[in-house]
Each structure stands twice: as structure tokens, then as C-alpha cells.
């Protein structure tokens, strides 16, 4: 039986009406209303700081292994799909009440130990004039990708606290609703991953344009990475000021690099970025297909390294160093299996962690569409029950 959720909604299910920020039309959607709180002020409560999740990030003992899941708010949920029938993805991100709504809904539904604000890593690229949109079935598209040295030099500066204020308002709303019961994670894309999207104009199989610029124009690459690092730093610090208890930096595509290239073209900027965040909030650094990079990624001085399922958790921990916490690393596709197999796989991950302080249970990547909700709930319950002391 699932333990009673630590989070409750402030009101009953209602029908909300809001003005679409992008289209200007009135949209109706079925949702739960969050408390209307004027003049929200961020305060990270003592109870949040002493929560199992935050204690785990600091490698302090906890009563059980905390768990949260990447994309814990998403298309696998029928409630989320109902909202998306009424509003596009970007409009959802840019409407603080709705972004807060789906963030809180996921925590309430799954009983996870932390929320993560609903947003997207590519939002800052829109403010750089790259023309961000999300094409149905094709994912993110940047209509004005970086193609020349002049394009890099022409990138505008902007203030995340102003241009991305809708994310900050969503964070404040969620933190007020959590009321010190549950930590909230802020996040951003890492400079390399943002640069890859900005140059390729979307996803890529081989990152030919990104690597060509990196190899042939190292000074231009330096300019681009410094700009993206600075924007990301200011954006994440603003999220912490708004109430985020920890931040995660997503380096989704960094696994495309060799260790030699990572050390030359990424590590210096990641060190600088993490350095600006230290002392403000715990930092989680996550990438996929990074087995050959983990020892170098550890040099960023992030508090926690996230690993995917392509490496055993204990082997990954050896590479990053036992002085750091680790996050991971169940294959998301295990959640399509039956409960016996889910239990078998969860026990294997936990066995590799061996009960050491500093293991945050997560998937090796985000929850996939069509994942059965009941299996996700079972996973969270199982991790809690198997590790309680």
C-alpha cells in the first residue's frame, strides 16, 4: 500500500480559465487550483534543508533512499495529456500557474521526494533570437540556428530574471504550495548541450556542425561557451533565489564527445559554471552515454553526478569518487515490465549502491510516453520500502 502523500492540494478539482500568453485566446482546461499567493517570497525552510533528498545530496545519512524521476510530469499522465489538448508545450512552460500545476501534480501522484519545475532546457535559446518552436512529432526546432562566426558575435545578451521570469514565478508558486514539505529542483541545460542545439537547429546524430565549429574556430567556440555559461549561471541563481532547493544541469548530448574533447572544449566552462553555484544550492550534473567522461565530469566539483543505465552504479561511483553523491540509474524501459521484473531491477540498482549515503534513486533518463502510471508509483513505493531503516 502506498504511503500517504506528503503533499495535498489546497482546493478541490475545478475548471480554470486563463489567457494564453502566446496566442491571446482564452483557453479552458481541467486542473486543480493552486493557492493564490500575492507577493510570493522565496524561503527555503529548515524542514526542506533537512529533507531526505537534500541530506542525500550532501552524503548525509537518511532514513531511506530518496527518489525522484526525470520527466515525472509528462505525457505518460492522462491529466497532463488533457492539459496539453488545450495548450501547446511552450505555452504550458510560459504560464506559471499551469507549469506549477503539473509540477505539483506529479509529486502528489507519485509520492516522490522532490519536485522538479516544469520547463525546458531550451527556453533561454529563444531569448537569443534563435526562433524556438516545438514541432509535433519532431521535437524542438530552432528556425534561426547559428551558422557563422557573425551569428555568434551577434547573439544578444539578456537578463534571465526578466526574460525567463515566468519560470521563476512558477517556482515561487510551487514552493508556496509545498510549504516546506518537499524540496524543488531547478534546472537548466549545460553550455555544450545548448550550443549543440543552437548550432544544429535541433537534435543531431553526429553533431557535425557543432564539432566543425569547435575544431575549426576554437576562439569562436570559446565566445559561445562563455556566453552560454554566463546566461546559465544567472538563470540558475535566479531559480535558487526564487526558492529552488537544488539545481540540475542537463548535459544531454555531451556523451557525443571523446574524453580529450570534453577536457578541452567543455570542462573549463563547466568548472566555471559550477563554481558560481557552489554555496548557493547543491548541484547535480547529468548526462547520457557518459561512461568514458565520468571521471572528468567529476572535476567540475558538482555535488552529485547523474549516471544512466549503461554502467553499473558501483562502477560509476568509483569513477566519480566516493566523496560525491550519485544519482541513478534504472533503465526507463524497465517500467514497461511486470512488477516482478521491476522489483528485480530495482534491487540490483540498490545492491550496487550498497546502502552508502549519497545515492539518489532515479532513472537513467526521463520517463517515456505510454509508461504505465501504476508502474511508476510502484517503483517509488518499492524504493522507499526496500531501503527504509
User: Phi and psi (nearest 5°) for 250?
Assistant: -90, 115
Q: Where in the sequence numbering do the catalytic residues fall?
A: 71, 75, 84, 120, 197
Spatial CA neighbour of 165 closest among 206, 114, 205, 123:
123
Beta-ladder partners of 132? 142
Alpha carbon 213 to chain centroid, angstroms: 27
Kindly report the number of other CB atoms within 10 A of residue 326's CB atom: 28
Closest CA to 53 of 245, 322, 243, 324: 245
As to burial, measured by CB atoms within 10 angstroms (0-12 exposed, 13-18 middle, 19+ buried), residue 26 is: exposed
Is the backbone peptide bond immediately before 265 cis, with ω within 30 degrees of 0?
Answer: no
C-alpha cell at 213: 565549429
* Cα gap 147→124, rounded to integer Å: 18
Amino acid at each position: 500500500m502506498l504511503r500517504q502523500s506528503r503533499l495535498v492540494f489546497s482546493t478541490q478539482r475545478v475548471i480554470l480559465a486563463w489567457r494564453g500568453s502566446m496566442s491571446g485566446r482564452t483557453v479552458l482546461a481541467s486542473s486543480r487550483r493552486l493557492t493564490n499567493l500575492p507577493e510570493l517570497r522565496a524561503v527555503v525552510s529548515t524542514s526542506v534543508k533537512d529533507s531526505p533528498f537534500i541530506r542525500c545530496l550532501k552524503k548525509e545519512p537518511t532514513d531511506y533512499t530518496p527518489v525522484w524521476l526525470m520527466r515525472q510530469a509528462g505525457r505518460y499522465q492522462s491529466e497532463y495529456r488533457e492539459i496539453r489538448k488545450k495548450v501547446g508545450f511552450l505555452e504550458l512552460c510560459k504560464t506559471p500557474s499551469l507549469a506549477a500545476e503539473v509540477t505539483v501534480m506529479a509529486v502528489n501522484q507519485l509520492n516522490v521526494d522532490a519536485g522538479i519545475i516544469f520547463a525546458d532546457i531550451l527556453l533561454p535559446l529563444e531569448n537569443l533570437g534563435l526562433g524556438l518552436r516545438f514541432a509535433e512529432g519532431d521535437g524542438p526546432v530552432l528556425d534561426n540556428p547559428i551558422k557563422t562566426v557573425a551569428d555568434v558575435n551577434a547573439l544578444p545578451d539578456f537578463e534571465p530574471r526578466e526574460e525567463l521570469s515566468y519560470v521563476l514565478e512558477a517556482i515561487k508558486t510551487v514552493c508556496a504550495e509545498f510549504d516546506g514539505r518537499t524540496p524543488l529542483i531547478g534546472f537548466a541545460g549545460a553550455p555544450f548541450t545548448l550550443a549543440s542545439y543552437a548550432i544544429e537547429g535541433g537534435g543531431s546524430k553526429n553533431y557535425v556542425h557543432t564539432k566543425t565549429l569547435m575544431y575549426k574556430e576554437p576562439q569562436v567556440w570559446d565566445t559561445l561557451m562563455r556566453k552560454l555559461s554566463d546566461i546559465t549561471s544567472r538563470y540558475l541563481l535566479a531559480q535558487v533565489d526564487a526558492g529552488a532547493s537544488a539545481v540540475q544541469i542537463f548535459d544531454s548530448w555531451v556523451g557525443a564527445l571523446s574524453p580529450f574533447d570534453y577536457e578541452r572544449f567543455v570542462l573549463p566552462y563547466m568548472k566555471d559554471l559550477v563554481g558560481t553555484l557552489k554555496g548557493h544550492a547543491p548541484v547535480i550534473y547529468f548526462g547520457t552515454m557518459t561512461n568514458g567522461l565520468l571521471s572528468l565530469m567529476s572535476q567540475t566539483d558538482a555535488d552529485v553526478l547523474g549516471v544512466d543505465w549503461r554502467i553499473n552504479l558501483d562502477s560509476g561511483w568509483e569513477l566519480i569518487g566516493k566523496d560525491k553523491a550519485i544519482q541513478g540509474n534504472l533503465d526507463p524501459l524497465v517500467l514497461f515490465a511486470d512488477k516482478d521484473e521491476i522489483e528485480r531491477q530495482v534491487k540490483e540498482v540498490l545492491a550496487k549502491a550498497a546502502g552508502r549515503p549519497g545515492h539518489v534513486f532515479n532513472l537513467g533518463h526521463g520517463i517515456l510516453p505510454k509508461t504505465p502510471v501504476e508502474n511508476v508509483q510502484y517503483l517509488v513505493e518499492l524504493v522507499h520500502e526496500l531501503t527504509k531503516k
